[in-house]
C-alpha cells in the first residue's frame, strides 16, 4: 500500500533505540525526511538516514533546542511522533518506596517532554495541517501492570492527546495515540535494564522471566510485540490513508487488554 508519505517531514523523539528507532527506519523507508532526537546518537541511529539531534528532552532547554534545529533543517513539520519515554530508573519498591524525585523524573520523561516538544512544533504542524502521534503504554489502561508513576504519566499522555485532537481537529490537525504492550526493546532485554531487574526481584533468570511475560500479561498472541509492528501502525496513522482517524488510541499489545 502506498502511504503517500514521500516528501513529508517528521520529527521523532526517543529515536535512538527500541520503538523510536524502528519508527525512524519505517518513516525513512516511506520517503519521509526525518529529524530524530535522542540523548545519545548511536551508530544504529546514524545509519537510518535521519538527521540526528542529541538532546535531553526531559528539560525545557532540550525541547526548545530540538524545535529550533528541526525547523531549521526541515523548513516545517508534517508529522510529530512523541515516542520519548521509558523507565530505566524505575524503583521496584512500590508506591511507598517511590519519592517525589522519582515521580517528577518519570513525568518529565514520559509526559512533559512530549508536551514541550509539541508546543514548539505545533504552529508549523498547524500550517501544514499535519499530525501528532503519541506513543503511550498498555500500563496507561492497566495501571496495575506497571510502576505506578509510569502508568500515571502515560495516562496523562493519553488525555493530552485526546484534548489536542479536540482543540486542533477543526483546524486540520489529527492527533492519535499508539499503545504498545510489552515490546522487545532494551528496556526488557538489556542485561542491566528494567526487565532484568524485575527478573532478579522475582528470583528468576532473565531469559526465563522474559519467556513468561506474555502469559503473565495475558497476551493472546503468546509473544511480545516487535518494535516494527508498532512502527507500521505509526506510519499508517501518519498517512492520508488515516485521514478520518483522530482522537483514537490504537493498541498494539497482543490482546493483553481484555476490556471493550
Q: What is the pLDDT of residue 192?
A: 87
Asked if the model's pLDDT at residue 247 lies above 70, the reply is yes
Do residues 128 and 217 share a domain?
Answer: no
Q: What is the per-residue pLDDT across 114-138, written as a single tens digit (0 to 9) for each?
A: 999 999 999 999 999 999 999 999 9
Tell whether 21 is covered by a domain: yes
Q: Mind telling me the catalytic residues?
A: 150
Tell whether 29 is covered by a domain: yes
Asked if the model's pLDDT at residue 88 lies above 60, the reply is no
Nearest to 216 by CA among 226, 234, 204, 231: 204
Do residues 116 and 48 share a domain?
Answer: yes
Do residues 201 and 158 share a domain?
Answer: no
Do residues 163 and 213 share a domain?
Answer: no
Are 194 and 183 a contacting pair, CB within 8 Å?
no
Asked if the model's pLDDT at residue 12 lies above 70, the reply is yes
Do residues 23 and 132 share a domain?
Answer: yes
Do residues 119 and 156 share a domain?
Answer: yes
Q: What is the pLDDT of residue 90?
A: 66
Tell whether 256 is covered by a domain: no
Do residues 37 and 66 share a domain?
Answer: yes
Assign residue 154 the CATH number of its domain: 3.40.50.720
Do residues 62 and 189 share a domain?
Answer: no
Residue 54 — pLDDT band, cuts 50, 70, 90? very high
Asked if the model's pLDDT at residue 87 lies above 70, the reply is no
Structural domain total, the chain:
2
Query: How buried is residue 103: exposed, middle or buried, by Cβ count under 10 Å (0-12/13-18/19+)?
Result: middle
Q: What is the pLDDT of residue 1?
A: 86
* DSSP E strands, 129-220: 131-135, 174-180
Do residues 245 and 213 share a domain?
Answer: no
Do residues 202 and 74 share a domain?
Answer: no
Tell whether 77 is covered by a domain: yes
Across the range 93-113, mean pLDDT stands at: 93
* Cell numbers at 156, concatenated: 496523562
Alpha carbons 68 and 64: distance in angstroms, whole number: 6
Among 9-23, 62-76, 135-149, whose mean pLDDT is lowest? 135-149
Tell whether 205 is covered by a domain: yes
Asked if the model's pLDDT at residue 89 lies above 60, the reply is no
- Average pLDDT value over all residues in the chain: 95
pTM, two decimals, is 0.96
Q: What is the pLDDT of residue 86?
A: 83
At 87, give phi and psi (nearest 5°): -150, 40
Across the range 189-198, mean pLDDT stands at: 90
For residue 142, give its domain range.
9-181+225-251
- The helix (run of H) or strand (run of E) holding residue 13 is strand 9-13
Do residues 151 and 70 share a domain?
Answer: yes
Amino acid at each position: 500500500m502506498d502511504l503517500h508519505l514521500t516528501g513529508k517531514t517528521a520529527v521523532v523523539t526517543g529515536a535512538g533505540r527500541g520503538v523510536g528507532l524502528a519508527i525512524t527506519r519505517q518513516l525513512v523507508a516511506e520517503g519521509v525526511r526525518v529529524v530524530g532526537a535522542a540523548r545519545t546518537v548511536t551508530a544504529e541511529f546514524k545509519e537510518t538516514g535521519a538527521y540526528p539531534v542529541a538532546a535531553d528532552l526531559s528539560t525545557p532547554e532540550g525541547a526548545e533546542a530540538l524545535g529550533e534545529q528541526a525547523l531549521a533543517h526541515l523548513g516545517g513539520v508534517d508529522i510529530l511522533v512523541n515516542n520519548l519515554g521509558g523507565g530505566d530508573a524505575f524503583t521496584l519498591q512500590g508506591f511507598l518506596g517511590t519519592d517525589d524525585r522519582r515521580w517528577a523524573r518519570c513525568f518529565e520523561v514520559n509526559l512533559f517532554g512530549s508536551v514541550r516538544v509539541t508546543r514548539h512544533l505545533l504552529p508549523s504542524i498547524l500550517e501544514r495541517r499535519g499530525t501528532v502521534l503519541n506513543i503511550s503504554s498498555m500500563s496507561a489502561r492497566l495501571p496495575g501492570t506497571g510502576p505506578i508513576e509510569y502508568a500515571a504519566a502515560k495516562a496523562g499522555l493519553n488525555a493530552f492527546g485526546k484534548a489536542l485532537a479536540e482543540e486542533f481537529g477543526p483546524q486540520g490537525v489529527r492527533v492519535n495515540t499508539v499503545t504498545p504492550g510489552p515490546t522487545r526493546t532494551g528496556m526488557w532485554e538489556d542485561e542491566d535494564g528494567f526487565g532484568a531487574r524485575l527478573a532478579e526481584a522475582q528470583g528468576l533468570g532473565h531469559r526465563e522471566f522474559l519467556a513468561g511475560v506474555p502469559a503473565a500479561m495475558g497476551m493472546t498472541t503468546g509473544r511480545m510485540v516487535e518494535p516494527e509492528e508498532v512502527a507500521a501502525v505509526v506510519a499508517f496513522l501518519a498517512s492520508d490513508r488515516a485521514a478520518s482517524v483522530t482522537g483514537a488510541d490504537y493498541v498494539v499489545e497482543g490482546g493483553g487488554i481484555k476490556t471493550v
